[in-house]
Amino acid sequence: MSSSRSDQASPVEPIDGPLRPNDHADGDAPDGIRQPALGFVGWLRWGWRQLTSMRTAVVLLLLLAIAAIPGSIVPQRTADPNGVTQYKSDNPELYPILDSLSLFDVYSSPWFSAIYLLLFVSLIGCVIPRTKHHWKAMRSRPPRTPARLARLDDHTEAVVQVPAGKDADATAAEAIDIAGDQLRRAGYRVERYDGRGTFSVSAERGYLRETGNLVFHASLVGVLIAVGVGGGYTYTGQDVLVEGQSFVNTLADYSSFNPGRFVDTETLPPYSMTLEEFQVSYIPAGEPGAGQAGDFAAILTTRVPGQEEKAGEVRVNHPLDLEGDRIYLMGNGYAPTLTVRDAEGLVVFSESVPFLPQDASMTSLGVVKITDGMPEQLGLIGFFYPTAAALTTGALTSVYPDLINPVLTLDVYAGDLGIDDGTPRSVYTLDPEGMEQLTGRAVDVDSIELAPGETADLPNGLGSITFENASPAGVDGYAESVPRFASLSIHRDVGASWVLLFAVLATLGLLVALFVPRRRMWVKAVVDGETVRLEYAGLARGEDPTLRAAVDDVSRRHGDALEAHLRATD
Amino acid sequence: MPATEALSLDDVSVLLVWTAIVIYALAFIAYAVDLARRSDQAIKAQDERVRELVAAGGARNGESLSDLRAQEAASAAELDARPGERARYLWARIATTLTWLAFLFHVAADVLRGVAAERVPWANMYEFALTGTMLIVAVYLGVLFRYDLRFLGAFVTGLVVVLLGGATLAYYVEVQPLMDPLKSVWLVIHVFVASLSTAFFALAFALSVLQLFQARRETRARAAATVAVDAAVARPARSGFLRILPGADALESLAYRFAIIGFIFWTFTLIAGSIWANDAWGRYWGFDTKEVWTFVIWVLYAGYIHARATRGWRGTRSAWLSIIGFATVIFNFTIVNQFFKGLHAYSGLE
Ligand code: HEM
């Protein structure tokens, strides 16, 4: 087994080996601690050398690892905004302190950024001189054969008899010719160094190792740049579509939209799509995983100007590619169709309202806001149970996610919805502050309870509400009585493919850097009377567990070839 | 036929798992006996030599540097010996045979679980543990063809008994159909490769731990050798177990070799995970808890590779990084999976 050790005195002058930071285990040892030369430039140079040292790289890497951890413990604004809100209300004391330390935005915090930026400056400062050096090394000759090969760890010898009537020098030279050929064919760069009575070939291989290392480190810079620049051109937007509804790719049609810095929101690719159907299947009761939903699919029709209508499909793990955007399925649920009439019987509201699922059995929560057409604004908060069953308390719950016994319960509030003063309000929440509750337990009036197709009176003679049955004519049962919605997320990320490219390059570089051995090999023939002494030696440049075997292999193959050659020319 | 309830494939799989655990435990005992016997022999041989030296008029205590070097050379040769040329330690051979037997049961259990579930058997915590420990043993048995690492046998079988036993008791769930996000080829690739790199990191970890002990022993011996020969204060090191192991340097470079293979697989895990995340969640990277920890582990091992190449960090310090790295891998699998909130909610546990 052979590994390079820094403490062993190298018998070979270190000529054009790979350039490494000077505290690299194989690097040129600094003679003691170098004191900085006084003066500004001296300090700068010293600082730079510290920053580009291996020790700094190790420390920064460890710091980076440690700094990343808090972001997995404290909820992050980007990944889990609700978690942050929750945290704030749970820990009102702690929250401002953590917030001032950027602990809710760890990965864009000044301290996290400082670490990785320093690391990358160090990386660049490390890679550039090494690249220059490597460029030169690749075009220089393998170094002169050391005088005493026997001093190397991995070394063997053999002695051959010069055939009668042959010149010893010529035999030695021929032996080295053969060795040179063999080494060249094995991928070494070779150079002859002949002297009086000694002939030798110096060979080196594995430049690719350093190339791989440099490609790896440079690709990391590539990844960082691609992430940074790509982020500026990336946008994501969300929209909720009920079966039958359409979406046009303009800013106005998104329910939320997050553009990167350089995104021009006026020139989004022009396309539109309609949600024809949302498919889902449930594992039947009695089987393992009963009630688990799966095989979600949003069946779409997409339209691009100048092209024919096309059918499209969005599934989990299978986004739809459309005009450079990718469309993802993020959620789904029921959207009961409700019609509200005033006291005269005139329709004041008729819509399918998405109800947000609260549990695996699709107990869903929804809000209806009626702004106009009634004496006062009305707000309705309701639960939808696709398969309703009564709990012992009398309250309803859903026991199965599919439409078997759909029931909708609603409580009515009257007053000011608070949407006219311009404050943005979520369509999914209702703030009953300043409103009068008309039904529900709190006021001892029964909540409204409806099955598809049923109508109920609103309290105080306000009018009526109908839960429309959406089943096509002639279909019995409730299976198609309530439309479904899909929440879609639309993304454009031009950086992603660059990130992938650099990541793959980095991996290839890594493979080469870690597994291609870099080594020097020498074969020397010394004439000694009527015999020629052959010496073989190898020297590892970096990690090289197979060097010993390689030296043995070279000597064996050379011995065989030489013997065959001598016999043939006999 | 009597009307007893037939065993399901999964029940059979669990039975096979327990059989495997019992046999691994037996293998562990056999490996431990092997280590004890070999250490004993090493100490006896040493005492013999000391007696001879004392008889010849020399004064000695503990072990000398030349002893150390001789042991190192012998154990290095032993490490590299091909299967046919190895020393025939009876208990080690029994232990390895038992490990193979347990491994066969383990593979059968894993395959049956997959057949019962009609998919790859690595989609929840129990199955990760089942397949992951199987890969640890597979890598160990595979490596035995190249290096004589039987001195790690007790560690490997012990670890597998604890992890597999623990997982079967704490994480077992019946076969469940896959959730939609898991229906992806990336489940097959990403999770498998992650488990594979864990197996290599485990071996690197064990070697790094041994390296630390060995380095301490070598420092002591060196100190004892520089102090005058009659310095009887230096306690003769009786750590017989360490005498049959390769030297700290050899252990380190071996640990490094496993760690870099693990690191390559981990890099691949990271990339494959990002591709999958891009398909499933619409972004390739979002610092989800599991992503954070995968990244932390990757950076730690990059640190380890650097440390080993850095003067002043090579040796003991870098060994600690390898140990911390593996501790983090285990933490990531157990604590992060169960208790950290995130999108990777696939433990299958309530
Ligand atoms: C983003 C930060 C970095 C990461 C993730 C990283 C990662 C790696 C990895 C995985 C290796 C082993 C593969 C190979 O040999 O190519 C390596 C090797 C190396 N890196 Fe880095 N590196 C980083 C920064 C740096 C910096 C700042 C320096 C310069 C101070 C540096 C210098 C080196 C050297 C000299 C080697 C060869 C080590 C050897 O001989 O075994 N790296 N790095």
ipTM, 2 decimals?
Answer: 0.90
Mean pLDDT score across all residues of chain B: 86
Position B48 scores a pLDDT of 77
Spell out, as residue ranges, where chain A has pLDDT lower than 50.
1-15, 31-32
Q: Tell me the pLDDT tens digit for each residue of B78-121.
A: 887 777 778 778 899 999 999 999 999 999 999 999 999 989 99
User: Å from B278 to nearest chain A CA?
Assistant: 8
How far apart, in whole angstroms, are the C-alpha atoms of residue B28 and residue A533?
52
Closest residue, chain B, to A66 (C-alpha): B296
Q: Mean of the pLDDT values across residues B218-241?
A: 63
Residue B57 pLDDT class (50, 70, 90 cuts): low
Q: Tell me the pLDDT tens digit for each residue of B144-173.
A: 999 999 999 999 999 999 999 999 999 998
Position B326 scores a pLDDT of 97
| Chain B neighbors of A50, CB-CB under 8 A | none
- Is residue B1 scored above 60 in pLDDT? no
Residue B324 pLDDT class (50, 70, 90 cuts): very high
Between CA A239 and CA A245, with CA A243 as vertex, the angle to 5 degrees is 60
Position A31 scores a pLDDT of 46
DSSP code at position A445? B
Question: Taking CB atoms and a 6 Å cutoff, what residues make up the pocket around ligand 1?
Answer: A 20-21, 24, 52-54, 57, 119, 122-123, 126, 213, 216-217, 220, 510, 513-514, 542; B 302, 305-306, 309
Closest residue, chain B, to A236 (C-alpha): B282
Position B196 scores a pLDDT of 96
Q: Give me the residue from B174, B183, B308 closest to A317, CB to CB.
A: B183
How far apart, in whole angstroms, are the C-alpha atoms of residue B341 and residue B350?
13
Closest residue, chain A, to B187 (C-alpha): A317
| Chain B neighbors of A491, CB-CB under 8 A | 282-283
- Choose among A514, A1, A255: nearest CA to B73: A1
Report the length, in residues, of chain B.
Answer: 350
Q: Tell me the pLDDT tens digit for each residue of A441-468.
A: 888 888 999 999 999 999 888 999 999 9
How far apart, in whole angstroms, are the C-alpha atoms of residue B164 and residue B23?
12
The pair of structure tokens assigned to A221 is: 């810079």
Are residues A491 and B282, on separate chains, in Cβ contact within 8 Å? yes
Q: Which domains does chain A have, with CATH numbers?
A: 39-122 (no CATH), 141-206+517-569 (3.30.160.110), 235-333+488-492 (no CATH), 337-468 (no CATH)
The pair of structure tokens assigned to A136 is: 């030169």
Are residues B306 and A107, on separate chains, in Cβ contact within 8 Å? no
How far apart, in whole angstroms, are the C-alpha atoms of residue B307 and residue B231?
36
Q: Tell me the pLDDT tens digit for each residue of B23-48.
A: 999 999 999 999 999 888 877 877 77
DSSP code at position A318? B
Q: What does pTM read for this prediction?
A: 0.88
Q: What is the DSSP string of A143-210?
A: PPPPS-GGGSSEEEEEEEEPPTTS-HHHHHHHHHHHHHHHHHHTT-EEEEEE-SSEEEEEEEE-HHHH
How far apart, in whole angstroms, are the C-alpha atoms of residue B282 and residue B289?
17
Measure the CA dihedral B44/B47/B52/B54, to 10°.
-170
Residues 6+ apart with CB under 8 A from B80: A1, B147, B148
Q: How far apart are the first and last CA of chain B?
A: 38
The pair of structure tokens assigned to B91 is: 């208990």
Residue type at A239 in one-letter notation: D
E strands, A171-316, where? 189-194, 198-205, 235-242, 246-248, 256-259, 272-282, 293-303, 310-315
| Chain B neighbors of A545, CB-CB under 8 A | 253, 257
Cβ–Cβ < 8 Å for B207, B155: no
Residues 6+ apart with CB under 8 A from A296: A278, A279, A280, A315, A316, A329, A332, B180
In the numeric block, the tokens 């009036």 are attached to A445
